[in-house]
Amino acid sequence: MAAANGKVALITGANRGIGYETAKDLGLQGITVILGVRDIESGQEAANKLQGLGIDAAVVHYDAAKPETAGLVAEYIKQHFGKLDILVNNAGVLKENLIGVNNSSTVSSTVLHETFEINLFAVIELTQKLLPLIKLASAGRIVNLSSILASLTLHSMADSPIEPAKGFAYNASKTALNAYTVHLAHELKNTNIKINAAHPGWVKTQLGGEHAPMEVEDSSKTSVRLATLNQDGESGGFFHENDALPW
């Protein structure tokens, strides 16, 4: 398989929600999209829908809760494509109530471990496995799906706009992901790779819930912009659409 414009993207958690919309919008730009999914059957259904739109889409088994699958994904991409232009680390987990409850003094070690395992450690594991393939691309791009709830600046403001959202495990895992984004961007600053953190918005997804104000169809804008930055684009930043967010 070969992309119409020669580019290949992996999007994790891409069988539904923000990941699927990101895959669709990248695919409509002529980029081959690989859907990294836990369930191959649902992933193939998503790929079939994309193919029906004329998109070159493939499926690979990836489970953020199973670190060994990261190496299998890397081997699959190496064998079938030889390099990777875009990595969108979209898969994530929420295991607590975010709104109206501050659980900082009661959050369990189990929830903390499980949340950090998926939202941070799995991202690092997969990114490290795929970096050799991204380095083979002419303009590698890495997008880490973060959240505005990662912002320590906004949380600590006297009139914080995110004051009610104090699910500690989720928020802290995304803050740590932002730190990884900054550090990796610094390490790669003299390469052709750009890495950024994206806040997609509060979206009506399985994770975001039905009361979220943003429709899923609009949720991919930030990820797609950062995945397709030109050589003068930003690196090491935290964005929602075109706006930089405070750390």
DSSP 233: S
Selecting among 20, 62, 76, 170, the annotated active-site residue is: 170
The DSSP secondary structure of 49-101, one letter per residue, reads: HHHHTT--EEEEE--TT-THHHHHHHHHHHHHTS--SEEEE------S--BS-
List the end-to-end C-alpha distance of the chain, in Å, as a whole number: 40
168-187 and 122-134 helices, crossing angle to 10°: 20
168-187 and 109-116 helices, crossing angle to 10°: 30
The percent helix, strand, coil of the chain (3-state, each to 5) is 40, 15, 45
Residue 170 appears among annotated catalytic residues: yes
Alpha-carbon gap, residue 214 to 193, rounded angstroms: 30
Which residues have a catalytic role annotated?
170
